[in-house]
Structures are given as C-alpha cells and as structure tokens.
Amino acid sequence: MNTQLTLVSHQLCPYVQRAAIVLAEKNIIFKRIHVDLSNKPDWFLRISPLGKTPVLLVDGEPIFESAVICEYLEDTTLPRLHPDNVLQRARHRAWMEFGSAVLNTIAGLYNAADDKVLQDKVVEMRKRFEQIEAVLGDGPYFAGQHFSVVDAVFGPVFRYFDVFDGIADFAIFKATPRVRAWRAALAARPTVRDAVDPDYPHLLQRFLAERGSALSALMNH
C-alpha cells in the first residue's frame, strides 16, 4: 500500500484498537494521533461526522466507523483476515457486530448507577460470553489457527476484564472455558498487546474510578 495512513485515535477507545490491530496484522505502517474526546477540536469534527474515533485518514481522505475501516483494509491489503468463503465471511461480520453489542454491555456495566443495575449487567455479560462459547471451536482463535477480524474485535473487549478482574470477582468467564482460552490467546498476540500504550491500565482505572458509578464505588471504597 503506497498511501499515507493516519489513525485518529483515543487512548481508551476499543474501536480504535480493532483498527490498530488489523493495521498491525497487515504490517501496514501508519501514524497514530490522539484526540481529546471531552474537548473535540474543530479539525476532528470536520473529518468525523459523528464526532467519534476512530477515523482513518487515507492520503487525507477520512473513513469513519471502525468496521468500515477494517473492511477497507481487507479490500486493499494482504494478508486477508476474513475467511475466503462468502458465507463464513458474512458470519464473521455478524460476530463483529456482536462484539460491538458486547462493548455496549461493558459500558452499561461500568456506568451502572447502582448495585442492582451492575449485577444485571454482570448477568447479561455472562450470557453474551455463553453465546460465544457455543460457537467457538478448538481455537486458539475465533476461527481456529487463522487470526481474523473477529479476533481484532474481541482483543479490546477482553482487555477491559484485565482491569475489572482487579476490582472484583464478577465470575464472568466461569462457565466458558473456550472463551477463557481465547482470551488468553488474544492477550498473548503481539498485535493485540501493542494496540494500546503501556499506561492503558492506569488510564482505564482512572476513567472507571471517575464515572460516579457502582463500579467506581467498588474501586473507591
């Protein structure tokens, strides 16, 4: 790829991470810049119609929406991460979407106003991973030996739990051994590991502690 790529990022954004992982899996050289989402600069609002990260600038042309960015990279650069089979590729796209729903549940969990809502979100979270457990094979990745875009989506999902585990034992993965093994395989993958800065756990802890939520209370008591 003979184009200049810039990933407009935020340090905690899981959607940015999925794009960063796909870029790294394809050995693409790219520049990464962070924006302050609590004080969005005008240049950012001009390139991001929804005011969200990530945006990928391709020779200055913005592409927004992480799934679309991943598909663009799939269309333009080898190695292919999606399966060749059209039906399997469609299934992978569906599980990418499921990954976004899991991220919404995670946000619900860390924003829960009281213990009851927090517990509801924990139960919902366990159910989501049980659904994934039912479709996982022998691993180590979502579709076996081949690292796919679905893996790039779930690496950032699991990363939240590395910090949640230090707050309380929510037993999210107790009944899902295949998911546990998948989580470990993704944590060990260099492209997944390196998709965030080294101070990510500290930044996430601070973000969570400042939510004013039931989870913040657990951290601050």
- Is residue 17 a contact point for ligand GSH (CB under 6 A)? no
Kindly name the residue from 13, 69, 112, 208 that is annotated as catalytic: 13
Piece of the chain touching ligand GSH by CB under 6 A; list 8-16, 91-99, 152-160, 186-194: 8-16
Nearest-approach distance from CB 179 to ligand GSH, in angstroms: 22
110 binding ligand GSH? (CB under 6 A):
no
Which residues in 152-191 contact ligand GSH (CB under 6 A)? none
Our CB check for ligand GSH shows the closer of 55 and 215 to be: 55
Residue count, binding to ligand GSH (CB under 6 A): 12
User: Smallest gap, in angstroms, from Cβ of residue 213 to ligand GSH?
Assistant: 17
Smaller CB separation from ligand GSH, 26 or 52? 52
Q: What order of strands is seen across the sheet that includes strand 31-34?
A: 31-34, 5-9, 55-58, 61-64
37 binds ligand GSH (CB under 6 A): yes
Residue with smaller CB distance to ligand GSH, 13 or 172 = 13
Beta-bridge mates of residue 7: 32, 56
* Through-space distance between the first and last CA atoms of the chain, rounded to whole angstroms: 51
Q: How many residues would you count in the chain?
A: 221
Burial-class residue 153 by CB neighbours within 10 Å (0-12, 13-18, 19+): buried
**Residue 179: C-alpha distances to residues 84, 128, 156 (Å):** 24, 11, 14
Q: Alpha-carbon distance 214 to 108, whole Å? A: 11
Nearest residue (CB) to ligand GSH, 19 versus 143: 19
SS3 at position 81: coil
**Pairwise CA distance, residues 130 & 179, whole Å:** 8
13 is annotated as an active-site residue: yes
H helix or E strand, kind and range, residue 6? strand 5-9
Chain positions 50 to 109 lying near ligand GSH, rule: CB under 6 A, are 51-54, 65-67
Three-class DSSP category at 66 = helix
Residues that bind ligand GSH (CB under 6 A): 10, 13-15, 37, 51-54, 65-67
Q: Which residues are catalytic?
A: 13
